[in-house]
Structure 1
Amino acid sequence: MTSSTRSTFAPVSDPYQHTENFRRAFNSGDAAAVEAGLEDGAVFVRGPGDPVTGGEASKAIADFLALGLPMDIRDRHVYVADDIALIIADWVVEGTGPGGDHMRMEGTSTDVIRRGADGLWRSVIDNPHGTTRPAA
């Protein structure tokens, strides 16, 4: 990650600002910007029932960003208990996809964030699919 990405999209000190910071990072199209808000070893849920970490998580994030579509995301609930928070947020990704067709994806995410020793909040679990069930 470049130092400019790190400084522009650094984790936030207020858990209620985490989602807005994520939206800005996502809409930059820069996977490193999105990953700046993740803890090392964080879980990214690539699809319902499909959690990944490390390089697989990085690839899944890059693939999602490769659609080149903007995200609108709004917190529905933020629950904070000491150094851990649960964020439930409604999101929409919509626009003209890489193939020229209109695309619309939406969901309700369930994300767990944690305050680090530096006082900044990072995602531990980033689950854009929320409670969506895996395909049978």
Structure 2
Amino acid sequence: MESQRTSHGACIFSHHAPGQAEEAGVDIRAGDIMQFWKAEWTFEGGGWKKAGDPDHTAVVVGATRDSNGSWVCQVLEQNVGNAKHVQHGEYVIGTNSGMHDGAARVFRPVWEGMVNIDTEWN
């Protein structure tokens, strides 16, 4: 199916910080689509990261769970730091990921008609 605005299939993961992450009970895997909306992370030692101002899309190439239960996702993305070429990136998403603002969603591509698409950030 074609993407509908910032929705790219069946939503299998959603986290609107600082609330709890919601998961559809399936693993994140290669081929899934990540969508960020004004997401911001802070890390121990003073590091920080942002994705999506207002939104940003990436394609998952690998994902694992860390010891906190968050997803560590390796992605391919472009338009990072004004670089227009495709590059590798990594995002940690979930309740204990350090994301303190904004939102992250993960979509599983599906055939048209298999899912009711929500095209708005709630």
TM-score where L is the length of structure 1: 0.33
Looking at CA atoms only, which structure, 1 or 2, has the larger radius of gyration?
1
- Write 1 or 2 for the structure with the bigger share of helix: 1
Determine which structure has greater relative contact order: mean sequence separation of CA pairs < 8 Å that are 6+ residues apart, divided by chain length: 2
